[in-house]
Amino acid sequence: MQTVNKWDLFELTVTGPATGNPFTERHFGAAFTHNRETVSVEGFYDGEGVYKVRFMPSWEGVYTYRTFGDFAGAETAGTLTVGPAGPGNHGPVRVANEHHFAYEDGTPYYSVGTTCYVWPHQPDEVIAQTLQELDRGYFNKMRFCVFPKHYIHNFRDPQTFPYEGTPVDNAGLSEETFTYQADLSGNHWDFTRFCPEHFRRVERAIQALLERNIQADLILFHPYDRWGFSCMTREQDDLYLRYCIARFAAYRNVWWSLANEYDLLVTKTLADWEHTAALICAEDPYAHLRSIHNCMAFYDHARPWITHASLQRQDLYRHVEFTDEYRTRWSKPIVWDEIAYEGNIDMGWGNISGQELVRRFWEASLRGGYAGHGETFLDPENDILWWSHGGTLHGESPARIRFLHRILSETPGLGLKRGAGAFDETVGVPDTVMPQGMEIHYYGFGRPSFRDFIKPAEEQWKAEVIDTWEMTVTDAGVHSGKFRVPLPGKEYMAVRLTRVTG
């Protein structure tokens, strides 16, 4: 009897022909039937005559299955017993309460993400360092690319390429020679033949994140390319997308990001992006979260296939401060995946302080949105930057982001929204019909030495002073009516008020 836990990955393997081109000339798939659902999934060729199909069950109990294909040995049948979800397994993340997220079992999910664009494509020792940092629990989402990336501080070839073929020879060329979407004439790829090991590296990364309860926000396309992957034909794109869905969709922690900086992919039109979205919606049997990320121009996030807005700032100074407006405009979760990175490189998007990045996290969170981290400190010895490669973190913000996540996790309900407050503060309250009962008053770069509050005389409110930088929560007593909360006259302070009941 084959068994698996609810929302875990179940895999079936058969042996078939390795001759010809199994990626395009063979078909393999399966159907899984439970008394509450029937799910059809496409299989994929994993090289050396091995065909696989993967499935994520959504219900406990018994499934029957049958595999099918167009080669001898493809047709099998059996039963699968699904047990209860194990510890820490809450299912896929879904949109909840319109502007927020929750796991499928209803557990709230507060996104505190990071970006490591091509960490699966690095040497094993760098990947190991990355996982050691993630073990510290700083983040619960990571954005990264399926394709390799060509950009500043990232000109080395990846460990593998996604297709069989020969890349352009960059020997002897200086970094100054390269620009993104560089000369592609030296590349020779067979876009009908995938390199399975490249995709295994990606799925090992997804699995490693899953074991740490981190969501894998997969970037399917991006413009930073010298190999030709950004200018494939629609037919080649579709073959690639179907391969990604077949391999990765059964992991419960997968999110789909159609592109990083879609508006720089000059070879693709709006019709191309809508076609890609339609394909993912039609062929992902689990309806994972879907987004598309901008450089300058926002995509129309009102499009029904978009589950949440994945945003890069458009203005040097004001961005997360628009969270309230964008929530209203799109009626979807607002995720600021790129609001500049803590670091010291010579680019304005990569040299803000840890204090400023943490301030942006708090502003986004109290306005009812979510923010993302990145780190770009120069490394003169090996040029490994977290934002692209992973490796070792050097900044001050990760521990403070983890602290913010703790505060968010103590919030009643599924998330925050902006509440009423004075002109010089941002106030977050639970995003419910009746939000009374908890307030967080945040002062950012203001430095008040006290704050006065007025509550009904018949109510009692517990006051706590939160130092968002020192990561402390200090009891400031229980009060009613008009009362004063002393503050230390320093930046990045907050006051949390919680109504005492019972």
Q: Is residue 215 part of a domain?
A: yes
183 has pLDDT over 70: no
Does 477 share its domain with 390? no
Model confidence over 50-106: pLDDT tens digits? 999 999 999 999 999 999 999 999 999 999 999 999 999 999 999 999 999 999 999
DSSP assignments along 74-87, one per residue: ---EEEEEEE---T
CATH code for the domain in which residue 440 is found: 2.60.40.3950
Q: Is residue 397 part of a domain?
A: yes
Reported confidence tier of residue 174, pLDDT bands at 50, 70, 90? very low
Does 487 share its domain with 359? no
Model confidence over 277-335: pLDDT tens digits? 999 999 999 999 999 999 999 999 999 999 999 999 999 889 999 999 999 999 999 99
Q: At what angle do helices 196-210 and 234-248 cross, to 10 degrees?
A: 40
Handedness of CA 127, 128, 129, 131 (dihedral sign): positive
257 has pLDDT over 70: yes
Q: Is residue 152 part of a domain?
A: yes
Model confidence over 107-119: pLDDT tens digits? 999 999 999 999 9
Please state which of the ranges 241-250, 267-276, 312-321, 475-484 shows the lowest mean pLDDT. 312-321
Does 78 share its domain with 97? no
Q: What is the average pLDDT across 398-410?
A: 98
**SS3 for 439?**
strand
Q: What is the average pLDDT across 341-352?
A: 96
Sheet holding 108-109, edge to edge: 93-96, 100-103, 108-109
Does 395 share its domain with 340? yes
Q: Is residue 126 part of a domain?
A: yes
171-192 per-residue burial string, b: 16 or more CB within 10 A, e: under 16: eeeeeeebebbbebeebebebe
pTM, two decimal places? 0.96
Does 232 share its domain with 288? yes
Does 142 share its domain with 277? yes
Does 32 share its domain with 128? no
pLDDT of residue 487: 98
CATH code for the domain in which residue 207 is found: 3.20.20.80
pLDDT of residue 172: 47
pLDDT of residue 37: 95
Does 390 share its domain with 426? no
Q: Is residue 176 part of a domain?
A: yes
Can you read off the two tokens belonging to residue 150? 């060509």
Q: Are 239 and 23 in contact (CB under 8 A)?
A: yes
pLDDT of residue 279: 98
41, 215, 343 from 5: Cα distances, Å: 18, 19, 42
pLDDT of residue 434: 73
Does 262 share its domain with 344? yes
Place of tokens 């499935």: 55
C-alpha count within 13 angstroms, C-beta hemisphere, residue 433: 0
Model confidence over 190-249: pLDDT tens digits? 999 999 999 999 999 999 999 999 999 999 999 999 899 999 999 999 999 999 999 999
Domain boundary among 409, 439, 462: 409
d(CA 266, CA 254): 27
Q: What is the average pLDDT across 365-383?
A: 94
9 has pLDDT over 90: yes
Does 281 share its domain with 143? yes
Give bridge partners of residue 12 from the DSSP assignment. Answer: 53
Considering only CA atoms, which of 302, 339, 309 is closest in space to residue 321? 339
Give bridge partners of residue 342 from the DSSP assignment. Answer: 352, 375
Does 105 share its domain with 163? yes
CATH code for the domain in which residue 13 is found: 2.60.40.10
Percent of the chain residues past pLDDT 70, beyond the cut: 96
Domain boundary among 378, 409, 440: 409
Domain count, the chain: 3
pLDDT of residue 154: 87
Q: Is residue 244 part of a domain?
A: yes
Task: Identify the domain containing residue 364 by its residue range.
Answer: 93-409
180 has pLDDT over 60: no
Q: Is residue 75 part of a domain?
A: yes
Does 355 share its domain with 427? no
Rounded to 5 degrees, φ, ψ at 371 are: -125, 165
Considering only CA atoms, which of 201, 246, 233 is closest in space to residue 26? 246
pLDDT of residue 432: 86
Q: Is residue 88 part of a domain?
A: no
Domain boundary among 352, 386, 409: 409
